[in-house]
Amino acid sequence: MSVSSVAEKWVDEVAAMTRPARIVWADGSKAEYDGLIEDMLRDGTLLPLNSRTYPSSYLHRSHPSDVARTEQLTFICTREREDAGPTNNWMAPVDGKAKAGQWLRGGMQGRTMWVIPYLMGPAGSSMSRVGIMVTDSAYVVASMHIMTRVGAVALQHMRSDDDFVAGLHALGDLSPDRRLILHFPEEKLIWSVGSGYGGNALLGKKCHALRIASWQARQEGWLAEHMLIIGVEDPEGRVTYLGAAMPSASGKTNLAMVESRLPGWRVWTLGDDIAWIHVDATGQLRAINPERGFFGVAPNTSPKTNANATAMVRSNTIFTNVALTPSQEPWWEGLTPEPPAGLVDWQGRPWQPGSGPAAHPNSRFTVPVHQCPSVAPNWEDPQGVPLSGLIFGSRRTAVIPLVFEAFDWTHGVFLGSAMSTETTAAITGKVGVVRRDPMAMLPFCGYNMGDYFAHWLALGAQATRAPRLFRVNWFRRDADGKFLWPGYSENVRVLKWMVERIRGTGRAEETPIGWVPSPGALDLEGLALPAERLRQALHCDAGEWLAALDDLDEFYGQFGSRLPGPIAEQLAVTRRKLATRR
């Protein structure tokens, strides 16, 4: 591997600070992966799973206080506080380095420091980007092998000596009191100390491909989004590509791999978490998935909710914090209707029904994309795929209809910016609390979100063939708390309506908040859903909306003059339209 002198110098500096016993450059080979697995089986970091039913698959149990992203310990360290904006935690770069530096200095003594050159995005794509991360965690190295393209391929894609994002990861003592996830977008630099959890420690994922990349994307005129990418194929074999932004643990992986209930329709998987989107020379948005693996939430994944995911994790998978059956198979809530007898919980303790979840609610599987049975044949196309629609979805018990379409790009950006959601176990903290989450990017936008909305608007102006924008909510409930829409595979019916809207054939009715499917426009063939429940699922209640918009107004207030005028204007227009409906 020929390594840039800038990278070598940075690695030397990190080693001088962390003082590891040895430094190993990862080459991404199978032999290297196998060696890492062997070492981790030997030292107990991994437990083997049943080699007949789950070949080459392993269980990792993390430290019990290190099981999810820790947003309160995640910072954007720009020189100016305003550039991080009101929705990010901010620290001055010198302060961040001084604080984390205490725990990093000498922090790798006696340990191996791995240097991982990795490529985000397909080989040969001008949209792909390089990162070089160091870590003292073998679990992180093995996971990076699965999630990214590691080794010489990365170095070959550097366009200059300093064309890489540098990431320093050290486990430290895993105490939340000595944990920080710091981003220095002006230096293309990440420091993460004190956590081995994927979203904090696999630096190619949230830290690079979203927080740092979103900053770069703004400067360079593209988008780095928390979006899945799918291709929806109709009975004539035509494929329509869609991106969908949804908050963590809210069904992105399930939608990315959804099995169609509609004859002749199928969904192809291109990505389940991150999309990098560029405008091409013809004004078309094109997307690549920068990742090469899935780091998916295990609970509730079953042959019924996600048959593709259930099949793809049957080999070459690293499970984290799931339960274990007596026959050494992984288990999590929802995998089977009843828990098997003799389970050991995610912390390795014998489990009894009634003693809480056996698998951690944010337990995960890490698996290569190509193992997914629904993977699109072109998922690694260096040109990306043309996007005809973008979806903003969140988890809301009330207010938000099942699906509606924006009037135009500006209105769609407003709808995305107005998104709020109920929190999940993917982040440390309370579950089920409604919080604002514009474009599902609240925890991942590496700069001022007022500027982010403006960037979205500017990109739309550039995209002469801009995609249609949609809003969805699979999670609306009735007065008894029951879901109004069955979700999962039935969501293909909603995708079909979107494709029809894109083609100009889908029927819709104008409401103050956008175009809602006309009665009969959603294909419900074979689904026993009473008309009244669908009506409730699609209903726009003016009173509820007006109250929600008051809350939105307050949220927007934080951005001051950085809130783009067209977004404030959309809010005012929507309020006026709703007021006449009351």
**Which of residues 113 and 442 has its CB atom nearest to ligand OXD in the complex?**
442
- By CB under 5 A, which span of 265-273, 301-309, 475-483, 505-513 interacts with Mn ion? 265-273
Query: Which residue from 468, 412, 460, 400 is spatially nearest to 439, judged by alpha carbons?
Result: 412
| 198 vs 330 by CB, closer to Mn ion | 198
Q: Residue 366 or residue 489: which is nearer to ligand OXD going by CB? A: 366
Selection from Mn ion, ligand OXD, none that 500 binds (CB < 5 to 8 A by kind) is none
Secondary structure (3-state) at 391: strand
Instruction: Report d(CA 360, CA 348) in Å as an integer.
Output: 11
Q: Are 476 and 483 in contact (CB under 8 A)?
A: yes
Q: How far is the CB of 412 from ligand OXD (least distance, A)?
A: 22
Nearer to ligand OXD, 240 or 250 (CB): 250
Contact call for residue 273 and Mn ion (CB under 5 A): yes
Binder of Mn ion out of 248, 374, 417, 511 (CB under 5 A): 248
Question: Minimum distance from CB of 19 to Mn ion (Å)?
Answer: 34
Residue 33 contacts which entry, Mn ion, ligand OXD, none (Cβ below 5-8 A, type-dependent): none
Shortest reach from residue 14's CB to Mn ion, in Å: 27
Could you tell me if 83 and 362 are in contact, meaning their C-beta atoms sit under 8 angstroms apart? no
Residue type, 144: M
- Which of Mn ion, ligand OXD, none interacts with 199 (beta carbon under 5 to 8 A by kind)? ligand OXD
Residue where the block lists tokens 């490529």: 119
Task: Tell me which residue has tokens 């609240």.
Answer: 442
Structure tokens at 132: 């070089």
Residue nearest to Mn ion (CB): 273
Which of ligand OXD, Mn ion, none is residue 426 near (CB under 5 to 8 Å by kind)? ligand OXD
Q: Which stretch binds Mn ion (CB under 5 A): 82-90, 210-218, 267-275, 399-407?
A: 267-275
Q: CA 496 to CA 389: how far, in whole Å?
A: 12
With CB under 5 A as the rule, give the number of residues binding Mn ion.
2
Q: Which is nearer to Mn ion, 242 or 578 (CB)?
A: 242
The CA-atom distances, in angstroms, between 35 and each of 72, 222, 437 are: 35, 39, 41
C-beta separation of 517 from 506 below 8 A: yes
489 binds, among Mn ion, ligand OXD, none (CB under 5 to 8 A by kind): none
* Residue least distant from ligand OXD (Cβ): 248
Q: Are strands 74-76 and 89-90 parallel, antiparallel or unpaired?
A: parallel
Interatomic CA distance for residues 83 and 53, integer angstroms: 50
Per residue in 419-430, is it b (16+ CB within 10 Å) or e — as a string? bbbbbbbbbbee
Which does residue 567 bind out of Mn ion, ligand OXD, none, counting CB within 5 to 8 angstroms by kind? none
Residues 173 and 194: beta-carbon distance below 8 Å = yes
Out of ligand OXD, Mn ion, none, which partner does residue 295 contact, by CB within 5 to 8 A per kind? ligand OXD
* CB of residue 210 to ligand OXD, shortest distance in Å: 9
Work out how close the CB of 443 gets to ligand OXD at its nearest, in angstroms, rounded to a whole number: 8
Burial label, 582 (beta-carbon count in 10 A; 0-12, 13-18, 19+)? exposed
Q: Of 168-176, 270-278, 288-296, 378-386, which part binds Mn ion (CB under 5 A)?
A: 270-278
Binding segment toward Mn ion, per CB under 5 A, in 247-255, 363-371, 466-474, 523-531: 247-255
State in angstroms the smallest separation of the CB of 170 from Mn ion.
23
Site residues, ligand OXD (CB under 6 A): 69, 199, 248, 273, 295, 426
Say which entry of ligand OXD, Mn ion, none residue 517 contacts (CB below 5 to 8 A, set by partner kind): none
Q: Which stretch binds Mn ion (CB under 5 A): 186-194, 241-249, 284-292, 564-572?
A: 241-249
Smaller CB separation from ligand OXD, 70 or 260: 70
| Alpha-carbon span 49 to 559, nearest angstrom | 50
Identity (one letter) of the amino acid at 423?
A: T
How many helices and strands (H and E) does the chain possess? Answer: 16, 29
Task: Judge whether 259 and 489 are in contact, CB under 8 Å.
Answer: yes
Q: How far is the CB of 287 from ligand OXD (least distance, A)?
A: 17
Give 245 or 484: the residue with its C-beta nearer to Mn ion: 245
3-state secondary structure of 211: helix
CB of 522 to ligand OXD, least distance (A): 29
User: 427: which 2 tokens?
Assistant: 């982040």
* CB 215, min distance to Mn ion, A: 18
| Least gap, CB of 296 to ligand OXD (angstroms) | 8
End-to-end CA distance of the chain: 67
Residue type, 236: E
Token pair of 169 as six digits? 């990861």
In this complex, which beta carbon is closest to ligand OXD, that of residue 69 or of residue 278?
69
Contact between residue 18 and residue 106 where contact means Cβ atoms under 8 Å apart:
yes
CB neighbour class for 440 (10 Å; exposed up to 12, middle 13-18, buried from 19): buried
Our CB check for Mn ion shows the closer of 240 and 269 to be 269
> Given the rule CB under 5 A, which residues bind Mn ion?
248, 273
